[in-house]
Structure 1
Amino acid sequence: MRIFVVDDHPLMREAVVMLFRRIAPDATIVELDRLTPVISKAAEMGMPDLLCLDLKLPDTHGVSGVREMRAKFPHVPIVVLSASPASDFEDLSIDAGADLYLEKSSGAMHLTQALRVLVSTDSESTDTSNRLASPEKLSRRQRELLKHLDRGLSNRELAELMEISEHTVKVHLWRLFRRLSVKNRSQAVHWARTRGII
């Protein structure tokens, strides 16, 4: 697995890399302080399996970097890890093509929890070959999540019920949506209902 971490703040980039090394010790991690070299690094080292970007980089403005990376890497998961509150930039980042928005202020424990789910290579793998899921291939937690979604629970309610952070709920939802090839909660619930899961 190749993870590109793009952050122009050396200490923050180092902290993020340490988190990834802890949860994905076999991953190849490429550290960059701006977006410009990403394309050449991908050509040199291979396509990234995950892009982790800060929003405020020397060669970006707002969510322009997210939009640029989505255009260059249409199938690569993009995670924005930002110091800006989610209320300010989450929706803009998702609209620009990010898969997830995580706040740096969440703390190491919550970020580790979320990133571990993100890079997990267990039976919930989101590899393209597994994207078209059948009901039998869903994990117990994914089935549980679909039932909770059918009840209309919010991310906060899901976090309390499942005893995980809201960030981790977002990651679980993202992985579930990718697995089912759907874009949102209502499509996921429809998918589950038509297959008799809920």
Structure 2
Amino acid sequence: MRVLIADDHDLLRDTLVMFLQAQGGIETRTAADLFGAHRLIEAEAPFDLILLDLNMPGMNGLDGLKRTIALQDGQRVALLSGEATRDIVEKALDAGAAGFVPKTLPAKSMINAVKFMAMGEQYAPIDFMTAVDTTPTHPLAEKLTQRELQVLKGLTEGKSNKEIARDLDITEPTVKLHMKTLYRKVGASNRTQAALIAREAALF
């Protein structure tokens, strides 16, 4: 079985490779962005499965997924993400994706999912697809817009403005604007203080 893993986070990519190769009989190739993935797809023998990180450089949302599916006689392509919403996953599956693999999936489940999709099946975790969408009811969360909450979550994860902008598909100046308003709303004077307030409130 040949699997291509395209993700710009080195640690996650290397960990996935280690998990899969430990199974035996699985050959892996990796890329750090969509361009690198496309280059491998066009230059090498067909892959049984291609895993694409939703937020890596070049993806442009689901556009990257659709362009990859259209390459080389339509190889099987699945999304890999830690932040995809159910709506995005449903659109990806409708567009012909082989499935969706959350980055939070345990190693054994992830390996089983990869094998399942490589065999021609479509995969998405049942609990993810049937979960009821809930909006935080914390008093602090109620003060913030959905976008401000997303930016604040990025702050608590230690991400830079550039990383938050890329993850949310918005510009850095827009991120700064959201930060300015959320600082005022939560009573913070800087990003570290905002992240601490969010953590102490167990917002994420």
TM-score, scaled to structure 2? 0.53
Q: Distance in 2 between matches of 1:106 and 1:28?
A: 21
Residue number in structure 2 paired with 1:166: 126
Residues 1:48 and 2:47 are matched in the alignment: yes
Contact 2:65 2:97 in 1 (8 A): yes
The C-alpha deviation readout for 1:43-67, integer Å capped at 9, x for no partner, is: 4322222111110011121111101
Counterpart code for 2:35: T
Contact 2:2 2:26 in 1 (8 A): yes
Residue number in structure 2 paired with 1:11: 11
Residue number in structure 1 paired with 2:83: 84
Residue number in structure 1 paired with 2:68: 69
Q: Distance in 2 between matches of 1:31 and 1:80?
A: 15
Q: Distance in 2 between matches of 1:95 and 1:63?
A: 11
Alignment of 1:117-196 (within 5 A): 117-119=116-118, 125-126=119-120, 166=126
Q: Distance in 2 between matches of 1:99 and 1:43?
A: 19
Counterpart code for 1:65: G
Taking a change above 3 Å as real, the CA distance of residues 85 and 55 of structure 1, as seen in their structure-2 partners, is: closer
Taking a change above 3 Å as real, the CA distance of residues 96 and 31 of structure 1, as seen in their structure-2 partners, is: same
Counterpart code for 1:107: P
Counterpart code for 2:77: I
Residue number in structure 1 paired with 2:32: 33
Secondary structure of 1:8's partner?
Answer: coil
Cα offset, 1:118, TM superposition: 3.5
Counterpart code for 1:166: I
Unmatched 5+ stretches in structure 2? 128-204
Q: Greater relative contact order (Cα 8 A, min sep 6): structure 1 or 2?
A: 1
Aligned residues: 126
Residue number in structure 2 paired with 1:21: 21
What fraction of aligned residue pairs are identical, expressed as a percent? 23
Cα offset, 1:73, TM superposition: 3.8
Secondary structure of 1:48's partner?
Answer: coil
Q: Quick check: which has more Rg, 1 or 2?
A: 2
Q: Distance in 2 between matches of 1:48 and 1:77?
A: 8
Taking a change above 3 Å as real, the CA distance of residues 42 and 61 of structure 1, as seen in their structure-2 partners, is: closer
Unmatched 5+ stretches in structure 1? 120-124, 127-154, 156-164, 168-198
Cα offset, 1:77, TM superposition: 1.3
Alignment of 1:103-114 (within 5 A): 103-114=102-113
Q: Once superposed, what is the RMSD of the aligned Cα atoms?
A: 2.7
Cα offset, 1:86, TM superposition: 4.4
